[in-house]
């Protein structure tokens, strides 16, 4: 159970909270979109200056809601300019991270008829859904922090609001701090706002929700979030190995998890993206590659191999990065022996602690607010190969 958090004032970007307040006062819901649309154009607009907004609505907003409940504490740009990391402070002083990854694939798909239109300049935003995480993945900085609290819908959407002031955003991935499906209702509401044509207009195929495997919610996603992509953080091909590095596997066994994913795919008719962090001497050998191939063979999936790359480990390393060539060898086995589509993630933001949880931990330690144990591990979600590239790279017949 996540620790309780109550915002006062609440975020005007919190769809459930605003709608509930409007209904209680008898204010028509259609006025909500005027507010959000105006705020995107003029963040400092006075409530009373929003055209055609009822006085009762303006008074309610003044009493109970804030234009933005979070602030950007730090904005860091990577040396190559391909990653921007936002350290965001919430109303209660806790911190989360959002990462903007900039891509230029203008020349990558030249001459490929099936990928026409994919190459361009674009930005992907990686958002957080919780402060910390209860899943405890041993290689992940956020997982070692424990769960501090869930973000409300508004706090998730505010990450996008902050990011749009850096650059236009085309893709959203829920791969930052936290387990999105453990904060399901807030994530569902936030996805709805992100995709709303009158607001941000990010198409559902450009939104990806990642999970370590919350089985009941995976089954709900097909109905609740149609068109939104599912990414499964797998990291091991067997239940025995997965339990050692992904503790939540005890509650969500691999066999049942794969059944849930199959049920989701049958209902949604969508490909699933599999994330696999490669840890030297743990899950990167030929044996594990064959086991993974056998597990996933025949399924409509794209495997994204993520070479583990330590960024901030004052007491580590607890894991080691894979040896040169081992990830490519792992990929060859999956491709040649099992016919699986498999990519290797492009790393971004290493020089600015691009992996989720790293900047929060570093900032907290400098302020004396985070244990050294929490700083000991790293995740590689900061170097995302974005959803558009994964789709464009897949064979046309598989799409």
SS3 content of the chain, % helix, strand, coil (to 5): 40, 20, 40
Distances (CA, A) of 27 to 21, 47, 161, 183, 377: 8, 15, 25, 28, 49
Out of 68, 97, 275, 389, the active site residue is: 97
Calpha distance 341→93 (Å, rounded): 43
φ, ψ for residue 216, nearest 5 deg = -60, -35
Range list of β-strands (E), 35-183: 65-66, 71-77, 83-89, 95-104, 121-126, 130-133, 146-150, 171-174
Q: Which residue has the tokens 């309610």?
A: 60
Distances (CA, A) of 55 to 48, 106, 232: 7, 49, 47
Calpha distance 312→384 (Å, rounded): 18
Contact status, residue 83 vs residue 382, Cβ threshold 8 Å:
yes
Radius of gyration of the chain (CA): 21
Give the CA-trace dihedral at 90, 93, 95, 100, to 10 degrees: 40
Contact status, residue 136 vs residue 201, Cβ threshold 8 Å:
no
DSSP structure string for 354-369: -STTHHHHHHHHHTT-
Out of 133, 137, 153, 356, the active site residue is: 356
With 0-12 / 13-18 / 19 or more C-beta atoms within 10 angstroms meaning exposed / middle / buried, residue 2 is middle
Calpha distance 161→396 (Å, rounded): 35
Range list of β-strands (E), the chain: 10-11, 65-66, 71-77, 83-89, 95-104, 121-126, 130-133, 146-150, 171-174, 207-211, 229-233, 272-278, 301-307, 341-344
Distances (CA, A) of 333 to 82, 97, 258, 390: 31, 35, 21, 19
Catalytic: 342?
Answer: no
Distance of CA 111 to the CA centre of its chain: 32
Catalytic: 356?
Answer: yes
- DSSP 8-state symbol, 391: H
Residues with active-site annotation:
97, 356
């Amino acid at each position: 159970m996540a620790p309780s958090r109550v915002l006062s004032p609440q975020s005007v970007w919190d769809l459930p909270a605003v709608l509930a307040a409007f209904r209680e006062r008898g204010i028509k819901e259609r006025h909500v979109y005027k507010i959000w649309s105006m705020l995107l154009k003029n963040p400092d607009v006075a409530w009373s200056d929003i055209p055609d907004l009822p006085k009762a609505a303006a008074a309610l907003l003044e009493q109970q809601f804030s234009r933005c409940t979070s602030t950007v504490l730090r904005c860091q740009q990577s040396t190559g300019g391909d990653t921007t990391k936002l350290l965001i402070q919430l109303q209660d002083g806790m911190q989360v991270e959002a990462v903007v990854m900039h891509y230029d694939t203008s020349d990558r798909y030249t001459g490929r008829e099936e990928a026409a239109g994919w190459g361009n300049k674009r930005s992907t935003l990686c958002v957080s859904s919780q402060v910390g995480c209860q899943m405890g993945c041993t290689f992940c900085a956020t997982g070692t922090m424990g769960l501090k609290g869930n973000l409300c819908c508004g706090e998730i959407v505010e990450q996008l609001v902050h990011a749009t002031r850096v650059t236009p955003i085309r893709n959203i991935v829920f791969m930052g701090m936290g387990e999105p499906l453990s904060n399901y209702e807030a994530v569902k509401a936030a996805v709805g706002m992100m995709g709303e044509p009158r607001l941000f207009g990010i198409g559902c195929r450009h939104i990806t929700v990642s999970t370590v495997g919350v089985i009941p919610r995976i089954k709900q996603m097909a109905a609740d979030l149609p068109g939104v992509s599912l990414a499964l953080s797998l990291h091991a091909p067997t239940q025995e190995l997965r339990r050692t590095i992904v503790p939540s596997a005890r509650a969500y066994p691999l066999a049942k998890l794969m059944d849930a994913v199959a049920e989701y795919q049958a209902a949604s008719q969508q490909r699933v993206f599999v994330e696999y962090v490669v840890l030297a001497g743990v899950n990167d050998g030929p044996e594990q590659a064959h086991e993974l191939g056998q597990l996933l063979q025949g399924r409509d999936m794209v495997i994204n191999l993520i070479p583990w790359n330590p960024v901030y480990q004052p007491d580590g390393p607890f894991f080691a990065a894979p040896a040169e060539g081992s990830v490519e060898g792992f990929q060859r086995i999956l491709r040649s022996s099992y016919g699986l589509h498999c990519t290797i993630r492009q790393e971004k933001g290493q020089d600015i602690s691009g992996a989720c949880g790293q900047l929060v931990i570093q900032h907290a330690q400098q302020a004396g607010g985070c244990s050294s144990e929490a700083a000991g591990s790293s995740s590689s979600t900061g170097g995302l190969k974005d959803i558009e590239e994964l789709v464009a790279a897949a064979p046309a017949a598989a799409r």
